[in-house]
Each structure stands twice: as C-alpha cells, then as structure tokens.
Amino acid sequence: MTASDPIVLTAAQARVLGALVEKEVTTPEYYPLSLNALVNACNQRSNREPVMNLDEDEVRQALHGLEDHRLAGRARSADGRVAKFEHWLGEAFNLSRAETALLCFLLLRGPQTPGELRSRTERMHRFEEIADVQAGLQKLAERTPSLAAVLPRQPGTKEARYAHLLAGPVESVAVAAAVASAPNAADPAQDERIVQLESAVEELKQTVAALQQRIDSLFG
C-alpha cells in the first residue's frame, strides 16, 4: 500500500478484518472462516468494543470492500461447497507477529493503552514488557502511511491510548500534539483550551459515527 492509495475502512470492515486476523491465530482449526462463523466472530460479546450486531449481508458487503483494498476475501485455497474467507493483512503490510497482534486488537477494541494491549494480545503474541508493546506501536506509527497514532491522555490516567488509522485519520492526534508541546509549568488558560479541544474532538467523533450509521443503513 502507498500513501497515494489510502485505506479508509468502515466500522464493519474494521470489525471483519480484526475478527479474521484474530481467529487465524486463536482458532486455526476453523480458519479460513465460513460466512456464518465470521458473523459470529464479529458479533461476539467478549474482546469486542463496541459489541456489534452485524447480519450476513453487512458482513458480505464488508468483505467486498476489504477485497477492493486487497485486505481480505474468499480463501484462495478453500475447497468444498461452503465459501470460506481469509485476511491478507500480512501481504498488504508485511507486519511482524507483534505488530499484527497489536493492530488486530486496535481494530477489535478501539483505542487502548499499552498495558491493556499487553494483556489482551497474550493469546496472539506474548509481550514480555510494556516497552515491547510501545516499540511495536511505534513501528506501526512510523510506517508510511502510519497505521497507528497516540491519543491524548484522559484526565486522571497515566498511560496514553493508541488507535489504528485504517479507518482514516484520528482527529484526536492534533490534540495529542498540543498536549505534548505544552510547557511543563501549569497554565490554567492553556489547560482550558485543551479541554475545549478534547470536547470538540469528541463531538466530531460522535457526528462521524452517526453519519456512518446513516450511510450503512442507506447502503447496507
């Protein structure tokens, strides 16, 4: 993939891709997945945020979109009457096992801290130290185009969260840059501006999500 060929996945496409990547490692005996198994994997209530309720048509349409991006589609080696589906993430980005695990769970569970990612990715890849998680995230961020980005720390938290960029740019990155460049000395006026920026970003994210739902309902 090149910077001139950006990937912008829908929420359904991101969920389908993440589910395929996860199941290849955690349940290899059932991989590639049938359409029914893939629907169940997308809608399972554990290790998913948010929990979704995609039907077969929505998953099928998501697969068509992923195939256009050369990220997933009908399994090339599958035989038999039941169609099976697989991902091609490794071919698209040449990711390491660690990077694949991190990107998978960012797709499945949204923004997370390195600590959360370390515990949740254990079945796919074991990170010995938090520093190993951070190194993997840094490699994803340094790719061209970037596949992950750091978000601003939430009030009262010690760890920053990271998000994948396969669904397009994350507006919060701009806020993160503002926080990172702020002087160490306390500045109430600057703190207020940061709070206002974070609030504006959250409203924008909600608006985008609502628009995506309308688009999905119209064309789903």
Cα separation, 126 vs 124, whole angstroms: 7
Structural domain includes residue 107: yes
The answer to whether residues 141 and 110 belong to one domain is yes
For the purposes of burial, counting CB atoms within 10 Å of the CB of 120, is it exposed (0-12), middle (13-18) or buried (19 or more)? middle
Q: Global pTM?
A: 0.74
Where residue 82 falls among pLDDT bands split at 50, 70, 90?
Answer: confident
Q: How far apart are CA 16 and CA 154, in angstroms?
A: 28
For residues 193-207, average pLDDT: 65
Q: Tell me what the mean pLDDT of segment 199-220 comes to.
A: 67
Tokens of 36: 């029914």
d(CA 77, CA 63): 17
Range of the domain at 63: 7-94
| pLDDT at residue 185, rounded to an integer | 42
Give the domain CATH number at 130.
Answer: 1.10.10.10
Domains contained in the chain, number: 3
Cis peptide before 188 (omega within 30 of 0): no
pLDDT in tens, 19-52: 999 999 999 999 999 999 999 999 999 999 999 9
Whether 105 and 18 have beta carbons less than 8 Å apart is answered as yes
**38 lies in the same domain as 64:** yes
